[in-house]
Structure 1
């Protein structure tokens, strides 16, 4: 049995139409003395399966109905003589039958599947979604919050997807054997230079952005199109919500934080604001961690977004986010017997994003955007008591793009963008001697063209190219990309090949060595997925070849490093309505090796895990007005270097296991209580070991494990809407 209802909005639309038809019929029956004729039949697809929710009506009237779960329809008509019966269903060609009204009964109507045009095609290879977006899985932002391991964090939720690798001590995104810097985040198409919060060592970071800010969160694990550059492994494009439809205000509180905000709506615009203050002092007294704090971790964050509908076809969005983080942690280095010091961090972060989207009379889609990122970091007692380190980094990103469907067989897209970056650092030792004064200005300019073709029924291709010019290296790069996709009735198969570039990291560029070129990576991907009645199965094979990686040899950097990564990802998601249960399962195998940074030989990188798996469950309890989320995560042990053994990167840490859960209660119409706990079983997960700089009297290097500062993290928060008729949705956005 198939359904042509693809989302709730379609279902609502169908039911509204059905109600209109029935209402119209009742009104007519009150005033008409005409004879009524019964119209009936069944609507099937080409495989003789019932089509649910097909719209059936007499052309030019309000008489009609929708098909039921068996594809059956019937309604009464007051029309006479020859009439046209119309049957429409999403994804199928509209069917019209012209006949005498008395002959329109006990019909069997076969609907032919509609051939999708390029505007309707969405290729889901290597892409996973959270939010009301356009790819494999359509969820709302609560699915981020209710993922057992997420703690309401976007990146925490994404790490339950295949292709991601568990690096638990920092919580950042690592994809298919790539470093975290190889995964880049974009909001409304514009780059975010600093997507993570600042934390103490071995404490997982969080996203700086609430999931409720976005209508779509799409993680592309590779093979992404030529609009995106400067990312060797993956991109995370996130789309903000459009103009809000209602005014709302709310507050939230927990043992760690307090905040509030709201949205004000007028005719064709809305403005939203949110502020949150976090201080872990009280929490640390109740649940102490392994660190000593002179001043507890604290942060103050605020954000504002203005969204305006400018006419029928134009939208402008402006976003501003600012935050300050500070703490002083007492550090004692027992391994090397260095003096105790009070490590002092103050970080200021700013992000501005402005986009304008419009459609012309000739159906050209135009986009203009600018984004500015800035971070100022001030450290004291970094390596020595009394030293000082400053780090300031900024980026201006500007982009313009155009899109036009030339015909139903060809769509053209293209654009230009510029990245203007500056990074400066200074370091003074405890005698105020200036030992470091780095300043790096690097500008990059790029253009791309993207051609989408419909080759024949169910078969589509994309051929694109991206050209980049690095002003610092005075070099040009060409990145061609090609994909072939077969899409038919829930089944997709894709083959993708493409080249990707990224500038060397700042450590290499600060060295003043002749780097010569950017890093590059070739992606080869084979993907297959099938979706039926809300259940999604997806399997992908991939291979990545790296060249030009930054390599430190004899105290000098070069671009002669290289590497490779290959593996398989599998994903299954679905739900059981009778059990009120949603589930996702993910499995990843990755085999990667690199010669880069200060590696002596080609080795498995320290951040890589060969096996990763997760199982996430979400269970609803209507009687209690509650949701329960559970996530079990597994990762094989990560490699590390043991100086007490021969060889390089010669040992492996224990396996990672964690069971995380959360419970959400709707206490009343406008109050939500949210609670979560990580690592329920209290397992001590070890990510590797830190060794002393010198051997002891027995010739052995002492060590201590790299573990999280807390085995478990508990959270309880309450969210209150100040509008009496709706629940506060965790974020005012």
Structure 2
């Protein structure tokens, strides 16, 4: 019994000792901006003791430790905090306030006026190369695919991006930071030129419909910044064949995967399709073109890149239309065009600095010949010959301040040398635009950021300078919801084609105000944007008519007295395979209210290139068991206004007036395409084939783009598409590369 009593007494003393040793309670609250934070890990450093905060930020745990210890507070979205405590015999109460963990991934990004598709924002990417190739009606062209985004007007008779009430020349396109002066091919009046650059050359893009960065200039309305690919995944050979073109190319990747080079060539001819379809345009010489390009890319040992891209294109075509002038049966126009473009860029990190430099050279030659035909006899030939040489150089140095803040600055030189010869007009236009800029990204928190910049330019031709501030602010006010505001001042030289005589001209100017609300979650994106643009100092022109054909009229600038505005609302919704299995779709709506008094407009008018309402829808359905992608797109645009404006002379002063005006019928087009991948699913296949069937305007809507008028205004003819409905069939084959998984992942 004595032994048992001793054991019981010993056990009581041991339990009392242990209870006294483990009864120290540590509790408290973790807050951020006076609100409790849940799921914060609270741990006694170098022990297993700790707890996790509840929804109100409270925590509590007990420990048997004694003495001085470190209490740690960790959460992925907040900076880690360590607090020293002394554990003795009394309960410890600790209150801690955390600071937000600044993260490049979580930080809100200014997005007012811009839509980005690049490797940096792949989760919300818009219009990647796969998007463009699989958008029905886009014909694989970047510019055509952008017509299905808010802010871009559908203008079929002329190439270019018509953005929010701006002309095509008021938007600019850049490649790796350098200006592309000849992005579109040459064409004849009434027929839009095509993209001259291969869509697969670019890995991403930033399309800005206003309020863009101070790194870019000379664009009153908007900008498209294209980013070329770095190195291919592996070497490959590619072939394309269809009734209208043949193409071939290759990409060779170095053994150490630190360099690559490639080339491609293609030939196109539309004559076969003329025999199949009933064309609206009477091509006396079917459109044909020859294109080629070469590229190389070198990766430096420290991760930098040299990139070179060069291309050469030539194209010809000729068309005949019924003459609007009495005494002539037909009007004829023939084109010979040549283009070349070279782009060299360098990107390299030097410690905390990132250096980007690039230079480009472009040459463009357009040789147009106009004539008339009467009783099968051609006569009265006139020639419009233009030659342009363009050199661009740009350098940007950037330094990161922290994870979400940076400052960058640099300079740009843009030299233009153009010659024009037409009837009595012969000119040689030269201009060097020198620019300097500085811009900073300021990340105040993961929920608030700003972009502030300023750009200064000088034009040697105008002998004038300007200073343009830019500002943007973004704020995340709820989970997945952000709002942005952007303001900018933008300048642009008058178009050289209107400078046909002495004139005291200055920069044209626009101011942008943009407000956006956006909700982005995985696979879904909703954007609402309101904008106002004010245009000042636009050029005014009067008309010179050397000959009788309307195409021979030229405009000559005489002042900067023009002005205008554009305001509107835009909506964009995209659902990428989240609601419906294997279905990606997006819907856009744009409302535009715009007026201008510029060029030869006698008063302030709604521009002839601006539709009040535009609605677009794109749908893509991938059917894995059929190895097929089915794509639809639809565009509706309210009928645009048209004007017949002529010049008279009143007391030796040119005066413009409207002789005829009206409104076009509403634009409608439903497009359809199918992509069939016969070897999809064959793992390790060294040949990859895609068959494409595309039908543009499948319902055959008879759309009208505008009207041409005779010199006396008594006769007119509609400007219509070359063909109402067009069918394209082609095959694209790649050797030496297995694209099966890419096709599955991207739902080709």
Q: What TM-score comes out, normalization by structure 1 length?
A: 0.80
Q: What residue in structure 2 maps to residue 720 of structure 1?
A: 733
Which among 82, 88, 102 is matched to residue 115 of structure 1? Answer: 102
SS in 1 for 2:121: coil
User: Do the aligned partners of residues 601 and 260 (structure 1) sit closer, same or farther apart at CA in structure 2, a change above 3 Å counting?
Assistant: same
Q: What residue in structure 1 maps to residue 667 of structure 2?
A: 656
SS in 2 for 1:483: strand
Instruction: Write the distance in 1 (CA, Å) between the matches of 2:350 and 2:231.
Output: 20
Instruction: Write the distance in 1 (CA, Å) between the matches of 2:421 and 2:394.
Output: 32
The alpha carbon displacement at 1:381 in A equals: 3.0
* Number of aligned residue pairs: 632
State whether structure 2 residue 392 is matched by structure 1 residue 403.
no
Q: Cα deviations across residues 351-410 of structure 1 (Å, max 9, x unaligned)? A: 00000011012x101111101111112222357633222110111000111000134574
State whether structure 2 residue 144 is matched by structure 1 residue 156.
yes
The alpha carbon displacement at 1:217 in A equals: 1.8
Which among 241, 252, 258 is matched to residue 253 of structure 1? Answer: 241
State whether structure 2 residue 693 is matched by structure 1 residue 675.
yes
User: Do the aligned partners of residues 409 and 212 (structure 1) sit closer, same or farther apart at CA in structure 2, a change above 3 Å counting?
Assistant: closer
Superposed counterparts of 1:62-141, under 5 Å: 114-117=101-104, 122-130=109-117, 132-134=119-121, 136-137=124-125, 140-141=128-129
Instruction: Write the distance in 2 (CA, Å) between the matches of 1:390 and 1:157.
Output: 31
The alpha carbon displacement at 1:153 in A equals: 1.1
Q: What residue in structure 1 maps to residue 381 of structure 2?
A: 386
Instruction: Write the distance in 1 (CA, Å) between the matches of 2:263 and 2:742.
Output: 14
The alpha carbon displacement at 1:616 in A equals: 0.6
User: Do the aligned partners of residues 377 and 687 (structure 1) sit closer, same or farther apart at CA in structure 2, a change above 3 Å counting?
Assistant: closer
Contact 1:672 1:728 in 2 (8 A): no
Q: What residue in structure 2 maps to residue 365 of structure 1?
A: 354
Instruction: Write the distance in 2 (CA, Å) between the matches of 1:729 and 1:352.
Output: 30
Contact 2:572 2:586 in 1 (8 A): yes
Q: What residue in structure 2 maps to residue 531 of structure 1?
A: 520
The alpha carbon displacement at 1:557 in A equals: 1.0
Q: Cα deviations across residues 510-534 of structure 1 (Å, max 9, x unaligned)? A: 322111x110000011111111232
Q: What residue in structure 2 maps to residue 705 of structure 1?
A: 718
Instruction: Write the distance in 1 (CA, Å) between the matches of 2:691 and 2:445.
Output: 52
The alpha carbon displacement at 1:131 in A equals: 5.1
The alpha carbon displacement at 1:93 in A equals: 6.5
Bigger Rg over Cα: 2
Point out the more displaced range, 382-391 or 460-469.
Answer: 382-391
Instruction: Write the distance in 2 (CA, Å) between the matches of 1:337 and 1:687.
Output: 27
Which among 640, 643, 647 is matched to residue 642 of structure 2? Answer: 640
SS in 2 for 1:272: strand
User: Do the aligned partners of residues 133 and 617 (structure 1) sit closer, same or farther apart at CA in structure 2, a change above 3 Å counting?
Assistant: farther
User: Do the aligned partners of residues 591 and 726 (structure 1) sit closer, same or farther apart at CA in structure 2, a change above 3 Å counting?
Assistant: closer
Superposed counterparts of 1:525-604, under 5 Å: 525-552=514-541, 557-577=558-578, 578-604=580-606
State whether structure 2 residue 498 is matched by structure 1 residue 487.
no
The alpha carbon displacement at 1:235 in A equals: 0.4
The alpha carbon displacement at 1:570 in A equals: 0.8
SS in 1 for 2:515: strand
Q: Cα deviations across residues 181-222 of structure 1 (Å, max 9, x unaligned)? A: 011000001100011123344334321112211111221000
Gaps of 5+ in 2: 1-31, 41-45, 47-70, 83-97, 373-378, 544-555, 647-656, 681-687, 744-748
Instruction: Write the distance in 1 (CA, Å) between the matches of 2:304 and 2:144.
Output: 34
Contact 1:615 1:631 in 2 (8 A): yes
Instruction: Write the distance in 2 (CA, Å) between the matches of 1:575 and 1:49.
Output: 32
The alpha carbon displacement at 1:647 in A equals: 5.9
The alpha carbon displacement at 1:274 in A equals: 1.2
State whether structure 2 residue 513 is matched by structure 1 residue 509.
no
State whether structure 2 residue 153 is matched by structure 1 residue 165.
yes
Instruction: Write the distance in 1 (CA, Å) between the matches of 2:669 and 2:593.
Output: 23
Instruction: Write the distance in 2 (CA, Å) between the matches of 1:705 and 1:451.
Output: 50
The alpha carbon displacement at 1:234 in A equals: 0.5
Q: Cα deviations across residues 275-308 of structure 1 (Å, max 9, x unaligned)? A: 1100111111112412333321110101111111
Point out the more displaced range, 451-460 or 238-247.
Answer: 451-460
Q: What residue in structure 2 maps to residue 25 of structure 1?
A: none
Q: What residue in structure 1 maps to residue 450 of structure 2?
A: 461
Q: What residue in structure 2 maps to residue 625 of structure 1?
A: 627
The alpha carbon displacement at 1:663 in A equals: 0.5
User: Do the aligned partners of residues 360 and 159 (structure 1) sit closer, same or farther apart at CA in structure 2, a change above 3 Å counting?
Assistant: same
Q: Cα deviations across residues 408-461 of structure 1 (Å, max 9, x unaligned)? A: 574211010101101101135xxxxxx222100011100001122223451112
User: Do the aligned partners of residues 459 and 401 (structure 1) sit closer, same or farther apart at CA in structure 2, a change above 3 Å counting?
Assistant: same
The alpha carbon displacement at 1:552 in A equals: 1.9
Instruction: Write the distance in 2 (CA, Å) between the matches of 1:525 and 1:502.
Output: 20
Write 1 or 2 for the structure with the bigger share of strand: 2
User: Do the aligned partners of residues 556 and 389 (structure 1) sit closer, same or farther apart at CA in structure 2, a change above 3 Å counting?
Assistant: closer
User: Do the aligned partners of residues 598 and 313 (structure 1) sit closer, same or farther apart at CA in structure 2, a change above 3 Å counting?
Assistant: same
The alpha carbon displacement at 1:506 in A equals: 1.2
User: Do the aligned partners of residues 643 and 405 (structure 1) sit closer, same or farther apart at CA in structure 2, a change above 3 Å counting?
Assistant: closer
Q: What TM-score comes out, normalization by structure 2 length?
A: 0.79
The alpha carbon displacement at 1:642 in A equals: 5.9
The alpha carbon displacement at 1:573 in A equals: 0.4
SS in 2 for 1:496: strand
Contact 1:118 1:453 in 2 (8 A): no
User: Do the aligned partners of residues 636 and 337 (structure 1) sit closer, same or farther apart at CA in structure 2, a change above 3 Å counting?
Assistant: farther
Contact 1:133 1:216 in 2 (8 A): no
Q: Cα deviations across residues 72-94 of structure 1 (Å, max 9, x unaligned)? A: xxxxxxxxxxxx999997x7778
The alpha carbon displacement at 1:576 in A equals: 3.4
Contact 1:719 1:728 in 2 (8 A): no
Instruction: Write the distance in 2 (CA, Å) between the matches of 1:381 and 1:410.
Output: 57
State whether structure 2 residue 440 is matched by structure 1 residue 451.
yes
Q: What residue in structure 1 maps to residue 366 of structure 2?
A: 377
Contact 1:118 1:408 in 2 (8 A): no
Q: What residue in structure 2 maps to residue 223 of structure 1?
A: 211
